[in-house]
Amino acid sequence: MIREVVVYPDKRLKEVSKPVESFDENLHTLLDDMYETMIAKNGIGLAAIQIGVPLRALIINLPDEEGNQPKEALLEVINPVILEKRGSAVYTEGCLSVPEYYDDVERAEWVKVEFQDRYGEKKVIETDGLLAIAFQHEIDHLNGHLFIEKLSILKRKKFEKEWKKRKKATKGAKGARGKG
Ligand code: Y12
Ligand code: CO
């Protein structure tokens, strides 16, 4: 089922998500819904809190060279812990919870992450490039953080101004439709 995505500044996005303890059908349905929602909204990563569920679960499905996102490449990541990180890299990030806003963010270039899969099996991955960025972006969601918090004060101020303007415009458009 496609679920609604929680959008900034919804305070649920600030919640620290709780560890997953039951690797049961409920978790599997949650992961399936997250996948459907992410694909429907053209995302490449999604944390459970983005559909309002405060559990430490996230998915990542990066596009291949042709821009396809085969489900075989889907990563389901439960209770992740970053064991090590190295280097630094700047990527232009976007987030389904902050639609239509993209900006450069600096993160570690390489990460080693321990996590569980949907059956509770322990895994360890060492990765760099876009996947390392995606892991860090999504794990931040589990701790109640968004990529816009990593912007400089000046950029953040500009973002908040733009966001307010956009909210006003959407409200205006909705009001006009309501009058008709
Ligand atoms: C690198 C950087 C960030 C991530 C986290 C995952 N981010 C996303 O999945 C962002 C998706 C996104 C999709 C949007 O929709 C379209 O482009 C059609 C979008 O724009 C709108 O909502 C209009 C914004 C963000 C992983 C790796
Ligand atoms: Co995000």
Known catalytic residue: 138?
A: yes
CATH of the domain at 70: 3.90.45.10
Nearest alpha carbon, ligand 1 atom 26: 134
Q: Best substitution site from 13, 96, 101, 103 to test ligand 1's pocket, by max atoms within 8 Å of Cβ?
A: 96
User: Is 1 inside any structural domain?
Assistant: no
**Overall number of domains in the chain:** 1
User: Is 73 inside any structural domain?
Assistant: yes
Question: Quick one: pLDDT at residue 178?
Answer: 58
Instruction: Tell me which residue range forms the domain holding 42.
Output: 11-178
Q: How far is the CA of 68 from the centre of ligand 1 (A)?
A: 15
Compute the distance between CA of residue 40 and CA of residue 34 in angstroms, rounded to an integer. Answer: 10
Question: Quick one: pLDDT at residue 180?
Answer: 43
Compute the distance between CA of residue 98 and CA of residue 46 in angstroms, rounded to an integer. Answer: 12
User: Is 72 inside any structural domain?
Assistant: yes
Question: Quick one: pLDDT at residue 141?
Answer: 99
Q: How far is the CA of 131 from the centre of ligand 1 (A)?
A: 14
Q: What is the mean pLDDT of each run of 10 residues along the chain (180 residues)?
A: 98 98 98 98 98 99 95 98 98 97 97 98 98 99 98 97 92 68
Given a contact cutoff of 8 angstroms between Cβ atoms, the answer to whether 47 and 31 are in contact is: no
Question: Quick one: pLDDT at residue 106?
Answer: 98
Q: Which of 15, 106, 138, 149 is catalytic?
A: 138
User: Is 2 inside any structural domain?
Assistant: no
pTM: 0.95
Angle at 81 between CA 76 and CA 85, to 5 degrees: 110
